[in-house]
Amino acid sequence: MKKSESGQALIFIVLVFVGLLGFVGLAIDGGRLFSERRQAQNAADNAALAAARALCIGQDFTSVALTIAAANGFDNNGTTNSVTINRPPTSGGYTGDSNGLEVIIISTIHGSFFSLVYRNPIQETSRSISRCTPSHLDAVGDGNAIIALHTTQSGSLSLTGNGNVTVDNGGVFVNSNSTSAMRLTANGSITADTISIVGGWSDTGDGSVTPTPTTGVAPITDPLASIAAPTQPGGSCTTISLTGNDDVTIDPGYYCSISVTGNGSLIMNPGIYYIQNEISATGDELLATGNGNIIAHNVMIYCKTGGIRLTGNGDFDITAPTSGPYAGLALFMDRANSSAIILTGNGNSVSVGTIYGSASAITLTGNGSTTVFNSQIIGKTITLTGNGEINVDYDPNQNFKINVPPSIDLLE
C-alpha cells in the first residue's frame, strides 16, 4: 500500500514540475515578447522623428528612417524584421497628410518554451506616426486687429468720439490690468469679432460695445518684439519739405524729416524709408498737415526718432511691401521711440499693412465719410476718436507675418 502511494506522489511531483516549467517558459518568452515590442516601438518612434526631421530639411526621409531603425536593432532584413515607411500614413487620423510619415516595424520572434505548444513564430507590429510642419509665415496677435500693449494704464484703449468703429475679421485686445483698461467716454460704438481685456472696462457715455468684452484674460507680450530694425543707411540724412503746389517724387533712403504742408502730392517710390532727425529727436518727422497727398506704395516707413502726424485735408495712400523682411509692415516706430502716431483719415485715404509703435500712443480719427484701415494696429495705447466712421478691415495676408520655424511632432 505504501509502495502504491509512493508511485502516485512521484507522478504528482512530475506533473507539478512540468507545470512549473511551463509557467517559467511562458514568463521567459513573455518577457522576450514584451522586451522585443518595447524595443521595436522605440525604434519606430526614433525612426519616425528622424524621418520627419529629414523631410523638414529636404533630405531622403526613407533612407534616414531605415538607418535609424537599423541602429536600433531592426535592419529590414526581411527575415527577422521588416521596416516600412509611408508618406502619407496609410491608417489612423493622418491619412492623406503629405507632411505626415508612418513607420511600421514587424518583428518575428521564435519562442523557446512556447514553441512546445505553438510551433509558428510570433509577429509583433509596432507603428509610429510623425509630422513635419514646414517653416511658414503666420499671422501675429492671435487674430486681433487692434492691440493696446500698455500693461497698467487706464484707457489703454479709448473711444472718445461720437463715431462708430467697426473691426471686421478680427478682434480687439487690451493688455492693461486696469479696471478701466478700455474706456468709452462719448456716444460712439465699437464692434469687433471679439474684445478681450486683461483688466476691466468702463462706459461713461452713451456708447455701445459689441460683443460684451471678455475680461480677466491672460496678458500677452509684444507680438512683434522679435522684428529687427532696418539698418541705418550711410551718409547724412535728407530733409524733404513740400510746401508748394508741385508734385515731388522721392526714393527710399535716409531722411531727417518728410513734410507735406502745401497742395502738391508727395510720391514715395517703393522701398524702406529710414527717418531720423540727426539734430533733434523731438517733433514729427513724417508730417502732412496741408492739402497735399502722400502716395507710398510698397513702402515701409521706419521712424528712429520723432512722430508721425498725417492730419491734413489731403489723402494718404500708404501700402506696405508685399515681399522681403518687412512684407506687410507699413509704419514701424523704433521701440525706444515714444513719439505719437496720429492719423486722420478722409474718405479717400488708404492704409494697407501693419501700423506698429510698441512705445507710441496711436490716435486714429475718422471724419466725415468712412475711413478704412486695412491694417493691424499695435501700439502702447490706442485712441479711436472723431465723428466719422472708422473701419478696421483686417486681412492677415495684407499685414505683417512672423516666420515660424519648422516643427517636428510625434503624433501616434
- Residue ranges making up the domain that contains 59: 2-134
Is residue 408 assigned to a domain? no
Both 254 and 290 in a single domain?
yes
Q: Do residues 100 and 89 touch, judged by C-beta distance below 8 A?
A: yes
Both 193 and 299 in a single domain?
yes
Both 235 and 363 in a single domain?
yes
Locus of grid cell 540727426: 278
Picking from 93, 118, 134, the residue at the C-terminal end of a domain is 134
pLDDT at 318 over 60: yes
SS3 115: helix
Domain count along the chain: 2
Both 127 and 147 in a single domain?
no
Both 338 and 275 in a single domain?
yes
pLDDT at 22 over 60: no
Both 222 and 191 in a single domain?
yes
Q: Do residues 216 and 191 touch, judged by C-beta distance below 8 A?
A: no
What confidence tens digit (pLDDT) does each residue in 58-106 have? 999 999 999 999 999 999 999 999 999 999 999 888 998 999 999 999 9
In the chain, what percentage of residues exceed pLDDT 90?
A: 69
Is residue 410 assigned to a domain? no
What confidence tens digit (pLDDT) does each residue in 327-339 have? 999 999 999 999 9
The model's pTM: 0.78
Both 258 and 377 in a single domain?
yes
Is residue 26 assigned to a domain? yes
Is residue 280 assigned to a domain? yes
| Pairing, β 329-333 against β 144-148 | unpaired
Question: What would the mean pLDDT of 31-44 be, rounded to a whole number?
Answer: 81
Q: Please state, in angstroms and rounded to a whole number, the distance separating the CA atoms of residues 147 and 195.
A: 10
Both 156 and 250 in a single domain?
yes
What confidence tens digit (pLDDT) does each residue in 261-306 have? 989 999 999 999 999 986 555 567 888 888 889 999 999 999 999 9
Both 145 and 273 in a single domain?
yes
What is the reported pLDDT for 88? 95
Positive or negative torsion for Cα 394, 398, 402, 406? positive
Is residue 409 assigned to a domain? no
Question: What would the mean pLDDT of 178-193 be, rounded to a whole number?
Answer: 95
Both 324 and 386 in a single domain?
yes
pLDDT-based confidence at residue 346 (cuts at 50, 70, 90)? confident
Is residue 34 assigned to a domain? yes
What confidence tens digit (pLDDT) does each residue in 223-233 have? 999 999 999 99
SS3 12: helix
Beta bridge partners of 272: 300
Picking from 134, 166, 187, the residue at the C-terminal end of a domain is 134
Both 97 and 174 in a single domain?
no
Picking from 134, 149, 182, the residue at the C-terminal end of a domain is 134
SS3 8: helix
CA dihedral 352, 273, 224, 323 (to 10 degrees): 60
